[in-house]
Amino acid sequence: MLRRNAVYLLVGLCFGFLLTASGLSRYDVIHRMLRFEDWDPYLIMALSVATALPLLWLLQRIGWVTPLGGRLSLAYRGTERRQVYGGAVFGVGWAITGACPGTVSAMIGGGSVLGLAVLCGIILGIRAFEATEETQAERAAAAAQRGAALSSAPALSPRRR
């Protein structure tokens, strides 16, 4: 357990260090990237994937057993509509703030007060999403219950409006 937490701590330290060291946690850098005036962030992300993808593929192929988490199993996510909708909403926020959850954390770590404003928004957004999800789940459960009641005793349970 202790060794596991040490891994999370070390990788987190490196990731946070890189976010600031590379300049990705600056509004100006991301804003210039989105205006195609600075290509460095695109190159950073492309090189990151170009490094990690073949290495992870290789580890998966040789059946790598991780020292702390059993046999390596890479998360596979198929395509869903929600990734397009969510990605679109995320993209709007990214363009407005020039920040994402990682870079805003790096900003705050570096002493940014306005980064906290973005973070408050992120927390509110996550809470709002959970509320939406819970309402949908409740509606689905209620609909299923109504459906079951109707099919089991159609004559005895008149449809309520």
Partner 1 sequence: MVGSLMPWWLAGPLFGLTVVSLYALANKHLGVSGGYRQLVLLARGRPMPEPWRLWFLGSLLAGAAVAAVVFGSPQLGLSYGVLGHKLNLGALVPLLVLGGAAIGYGACWARGCTSGNGLTGCSTRSPGSFLATTTFFAVAVGTTGLIRLLSGGAL
141 binds partner 1 (CB under 8 A): no
Beta bridge partners of 71: 65
Nearest approach in angstroms of CB 128 to partner 1 is: 6
Taking the CA atoms of 49, 52, 58 and 63 in sequence, report the sign of the dihedral they define: negative
Shorter beta-carbon distance to partner 1: residue 57 or 144: 57
CA distance 134 to 39: 41
Asked if 100 contacts 94 with a C-beta cutoff of 8 angstroms, the reply is yes
CA distance 5 to 69: 12
User: Looking at this protein, which amino acid is placed at residue 127?
Assistant: R
138 binds partner 1 (CB under 8 A): no
> Binder to partner 1 among 61, 109, 148, 155 (CB under 8 A)?
109
147 binds partner 1 (CB under 8 A): no
What is the DSSP-derived secondary structure letter of residue 155?
T
Query: Binding string to partner 1 for residues 17 to 56, with x set by CB under 8 A, is what?
Result: xxxxxxxxxxxx--x--xxx---xx-xxxxxxxxxxx-xx
Nearest approach in angstroms of CB 76 to partner 1 is: 5
Q: How many residues bind partner 1 (CB under 8 A)?
A: 109
145 binds partner 1 (CB under 8 A): no
